Structure 1
């Protein structure tokens, strides 16, 4: 589900069990990330699928990438694998106005 930056951040901050997932490459992640994010490279499909398979299907996941495309695809895959609540950050980190670590 694509949601605005404001809604995405507010939901993530209010969700004690929520998980922020950065699906960019390790180099992209190293250049700055949203605080609390877990990094898993979408382009390494086997590792990505193994990561998704290991997730708690009852939690909410707040997913982002550079522009919103990879994270949108990630959310779709997560939904197919049984995770109902995967929220895509519209515009990705390129349009992010919030804090970075």
Structure 2
């Protein structure tokens, strides 16, 4: 695979047995359902996992997965900058589930209530409405809050990054259990 490779859900399903699948979502999202055999290395911990990911890529193909494909593309870019070849799943776990493919959940782990993209939409919409309401009731300057969120959304779309998602990912409800990176990396080494 090359650094810019993307696999469709059918291609990934066919090759799942030969791929090392890395899920870069938060532990809460991962617990809500992930591709069979996927290991959870959250995007904000990817740098720490580089030596083991490099070793995994030397042994075979690595597939990086997230909810929709945006975070996995960012992870693939980081990996490529560090000499690790990986592919991303087109449409992420959302597309995987939409195609009717099975998602695994750790035993005893409650299903995550909302995915990160839904949380971002709720948070951004709430802040925009609050800014507009406060701008009408308290002082017009509060409308700048709404403008700031709008500017952030435009920047997010242009750069394919999301600062709000990075902040929300650190909230306790998105980390119902700490990502056990040491055990995950040990499992990655033993594949």
Distance (Å, rounded) in 2 between the aligned partners of 1:8 and 1:49: 24
* TM-score (norm. length: structure 1): 0.84
SS of 1:54's equivalent in the other structure is helix
Distance (Å, rounded) in 2 between the aligned partners of 1:41 and 1:2: 19
Cα deviations by residue, 1:1-24 (Å, 9 ceiling, x for unpaired): 2121111222232x2xx3110000
Query: What is aligned with 2:11?
Result: 7
Q: CA deviation at 1:39?
A: 0.2
**Which has more helix, going by share of residues?**
2
Query: What is aligned with 1:19?
Result: 20
Equivalent residues in 2 for 1:1-101 (5 A)? Answer: 1-13=5-17, 15=18, 18-42=19-43, 44=44, 47-55=45-53, 56=55, 57-58=57-58, 59-84=60-85, 86-96=86-96, 97=99, 98-101=101-104
Distance (Å, rounded) in 1 between the aligned partners of 2:16 and 2:36: 11
Q: CA deviation at 1:36?
A: 0.6
Higher-Rg structure is 2
Cα deviations by residue, 1:64-90 (Å, 9 ceiling, x for unpaired): 100000001111211121112x11000
SS of 2:78's equivalent in the other structure is helix
* TM-score (norm. length: structure 2): 0.46
Distance (Å, rounded) in 2 between the aligned partners of 1:10 and 1:83: 23
Cα deviations by residue, 1:39-86 (Å, 9 ceiling, x for unpaired): 0111x2xx21011233204131111100000001111211121112x1
Gap regions ≥5 residues in structure 2? 105-191
Distance (Å, rounded) in 1 between the aligned partners of 2:29 and 2:84: 25
Gap regions ≥5 residues in structure 1? none
Q: CA deviation at 1:32?
A: 0.8
* Corresponding residue pairs, total: 94
Over aligned residue pairs, what C-alpha RMSD do you find?
1.3
**Which has more strand, going by share of residues?**
1
SS of 2:42's equivalent in the other structure is coil
